[in-house]
Amino acid sequence: MRTPVIAGNWKMNKGPAEAAELINELKPLVKEAKATVVVCVPAIDIPAAKKALKGSKIKLGAQNVHFKESGAFTGELSASMLKEAGVEYVIIGHSERRQYFAETDETVNLRVKAAVAGGLIPIICVGEKKEQREAGYTDALVAYQTLIALTGLTEDEIKKVIIAYEPVWAIGTGLTATDEQANETIGVIREAIRAKYGKRVSDRVRIQYGGSMNPKNVKGLMAQPQIDGGLIGGASLKAEDFAKVVHFE
């Protein structure tokens, strides 16, 4: 019922020329994809990526958006700027933004609202640190992060957002949540949405797993009923690997 969505998060990798190169390699490999495919490129790459993506079904994503429309916010980009440049999706609240750039649940919520108001689809990242999992806080934490992030959106708007469950201890570490752990925690997120907004909303929201997803583990993860796709870091930087993840066979 929910179309899977596989999104690459290139992080701070590749300039415009390399971005175009990678997209040109990727295009033929994912032509037949059943999943929605998104590449979230560095902001400087957006025009080159947009050009390279012409004629392809791959969607263009950014890695952050500011919550104001314009003004004295040096270094930031607004939703309307991204939209004008051809961006359709935007990652919000990635754990690296939370860890290194002081993002909080409240600023994540502001960014989510600005993205939705500006016609972008947010990919909202939530997830626990290792010590939080060990202390037994995972479920409460991801439910809280999710509900705060969605505050102020209408039910119709919530149906269109994408949540990425990314255990912080699994990002870029080669460690992956087990299929069951990922499925269970994503189930907790869906249940939190159901309890507040009802089943018609929670059944529609796509919830990805992220954290060292790669061609070897994608099949098991994607076989889980709660998992609707992946947010992929390292494995999105090589066309062949990313294409294997996209096809998850």
Q: Which residue is nearest to ligand PEP (CB)?
A: 233
Backbone angles phi, psi at 114, to 5 degrees: -65, -40
CB of 118 to ligand PEP, least distance (A): 22
CB of 70 to ligand PEP, least distance (A): 29
Backbone angles phi, psi at 241, to 5 degrees: -65, -45
Catalytic residue flag (residue 134)? no
* Token code pair at residue 99: 């860890």
Rounded distance, CA 136 to CA 206, Å?
Answer: 25
CB of 233 to ligand PEP, least distance (A): 2
Chain centre to alpha carbon of residue 154: 20
Say how many C-beta atoms besides its own lie within 10 A of residue 222's C-beta: 21
Among 211, 228, 239, 248, binds ligand PEP (CB under 6 A): 211
Rounded distance, CA 40 to CA 87, Å?
Answer: 9
Say how many C-beta atoms besides its own lie within 10 A of residue 88's C-beta: 15
- Whether the Cβ atoms of residue 4 and residue 205 lie closer than 8 Å to each other: no
Catalytic residue flag (residue 94)? yes
Interface with ligand PEP, residue 127, by CB under 6 A: no
Selected range binding ligand PEP among 28-36, 75-83, 164-172, 179-187, rule: CB under 6 A:
164-172
Among 61, 127, 210, 229, binds ligand PEP (CB under 6 A): 210
Among 110, 121, 213, 239, binds ligand PEP (CB under 6 A): 213
Interface with ligand PEP, residue 232, by CB under 6 A: yes
Q: What is the binding site for ligand PEP (CB under 6 A)?
A: 9, 166, 171-172, 210-213, 231-235
Residues that are catalytic: 94, 166
